[in-house]
Amino acid sequence: MKILLILPAAEHLRVKAGEPVPKRKMLRFSVLSLTIVAALTPTEHEVTICDENVEAVDFDAKADVVGISFMTGLAPRAYEIADEFRRRGAITVAGGYHPTFCTEESLRHFDIVVAGEAEGVWPTVLKDIERKQFKRCYRGKSSQELSVVPIPRRELLNGKGRYYVTTNAVQTGRGCNHRCKFCSVSAFFEHRYRSRPVEDVLEELKSVPRNFMFVDDNIIADREYAKKLFAAMIPMKKRWISQCSIEIADNVELLRLAREAGCRGLFVGIETISEANLAAVEKGFNDPHEYLRRIRTIRKMGICVQAGIIVGMDSDDVTVFERTLRFLQKARIDALQLAILTPQPGTPLREEFEKAGRIIDNDWSHYDYRHTVIQPMCMSARELQDGADWLYNQFYRLDRIVIRTVRTAFSVGLIPAYLIWRVNLTYRYDNKREGIVGRNPATLPSRWYECFVRSVRNMFARPYVQPRT
């Protein structure tokens, strides 16, 4: 059979026939989920991969089976693609977070839904399709050993590598033991973490070039495993980036091994500078009083820090945007990924907001963390949107990018500084391309007195600028 695997893209990022690929290389990396599914496919089948972020979907392609992996923000586009291929006679298969959490909805557009992980399921799906006796839903086991994970078929991306920061993505484990209420990852993997055998990861690393990316959600979830892996990687002289908990700063040996193994940058989910917010989403292990010390420790080791920040939590008022910008500057954060609080399907946060009647937008295409879909507690929805856009635009002002890069060159190193320069310019390019400007709602005349009172209160309630002594 001819199998086409597709990663859909949002309207403003999608490549259409005859159009150039947007210059977002630094924010794209290998479509690991699809290359793994391709590797799980028996060799008698012909597999092609299409990433809509870098190429247009060819609806005239002769495909017997079309598989689409997608998250909630891309569900409407995935449904459009599936409906069209279905009309043309292909068998359509959905996989990923959204089909797992919204199976019945997905089945209205797809012939088959694979809920959960593909390992142990995908070959069975294909056999059943060949026999014309397939089921509507197949469920992967979240308890299976990750020794079954194959080496992804990266060669299917040959010729497209110039559009990605890297096509060499490696994963050491899946899931997370934490129960952060907003997190789809924790919900998808049922709050469990599993690691691949270290030997399997090391063998895969032999086939990737010096510069690559670990795409783990928390590469230090198993501390002893991470130490063993990093120690074994040191002779390989690789260079890589990944993401992990800020708790890595509290384990000097682990942090040193990561650096010696080639770590040059980490995405860290800081989320918020409010203790009350962290407690509300069950992420209390992120202590705002320790942020500055922890970030400083990571950067002193020669590792850049990209912060994940969420705005719109229940303790956030209109002053949060300015306060967050000041914190990011004081902490010398190298890059920012900003999210507006979004209750994704399948998460405890979604259930809470549904019960409270605080979801104001159920258009899945707006569930990309850049649109306000909730009624915030301490500001209006408009103020949340305006403030988030303003914060993003201000952080990626050109003068701040230049200063940030020079500072990183002296404090972290030239290679990390070059990486930060390119990443920052890409985020700025995105903002310009999408017209993101916003405004600071705290400066509106009608809110001046209220903001002044709240700011004074916050000075005492959230003393994040000073580490705990």
Give the pLDDT means over successive 10-residue stretches in the chain (469 positions). Answer: 98 92 91 96 97 96 97 98 98 98 98 96 97 96 87 94 94 92 92 95 96 96 97 97 96 97 97 96 92 97 97 98 98 98 97 97 98 98 98 98 96 92 96 94 67 58 40
CB atoms within 10 A of CB 266: 27
Long-range contacts of 106-114 (CB under 8 A, 24+ apart): 106/75, 107/136, 107/137, 108/79, 109/78, 109/79, 109/82, 109/83, 110/68, 110/82, 110/86, 111/86, 111/136, 112/136, 112/137, 112/138, 113/137, 113/138, 114/138, 114/139, 114/140
Q: Tell me how far apart the alpha carbons of residues 424 and 69 are, in angstroms, rounded to a whole number.
A: 28
Tell me the C-alpha to C-alpha distance, in Å, between residue 430 and each of 102, 307, 367, 426, 440: 30, 18, 18, 6, 20
**Is residue 84 situated within a structural domain?**
yes
CB atoms within 10 A of CB 252: 11
Q: Tell me how far apart the alpha carbons of residues 305 and 290 are, in angstroms, rounded to a whole number.
A: 15
Which pLDDT score, from 0 to 100, does residue 376 have?
A: 98
Q: Tell me how far apart the alpha carbons of residues 20 and 188 are, in angstroms, rounded to a whole number.
A: 35
**Is residue 402 situated within a structural domain?**
no
**Is residue 142 situated within a structural domain?**
yes
Q: Which two tokens stand for residue 303?
A: 């590792």
CB atoms within 10 A of CB 20: 6
**Is residue 454 situated within a structural domain?**
no
DSSP SS3 for 203: helix
Backbone angle region of 454, left / alpha / beta, with phi > 0 → left and psi within -120 to 50 → alpha: alpha
Which pLDDT score, from 0 to 100, does residue 177 have?
A: 86
Q: Tell me how far apart the alpha carbons of residues 72 and 342 are, in angstroms, rounded to a whole number.
A: 11
Q: What is the CA radius of gyration of the chain?
A: 22
Give the DSSP H/E element, type plus range, for residue 193.
strand 193-195
Domain containing residue 109: 2-146
Q: What does DSSP assign to residue 445?
A: G
The beta-strand segments (E) located in 209-301 are 211-214, 239-244, 263-271
Q: What is the count of structural domains for the chain?
A: 1
Which pLDDT score, from 0 to 100, does residue 29 have?
A: 87
**Is residue 101 situated within a structural domain?**
yes
Q: Helices (DSSP H) in 60-113: which residue ranges?
A: 75-87, 97-101, 103-107
Q: Which two tokens stand for residue 443?
A: 């400066």
**Is residue 329 situated within a structural domain?**
no
pTM above 0.75, yes or no: yes
Q: How many residues in the chain?
A: 469
* CATH number of residue 116's parent domain: 3.40.50.280
**Is residue 332 situated within a structural domain?**
no
DSSP SS3 for 7: strand
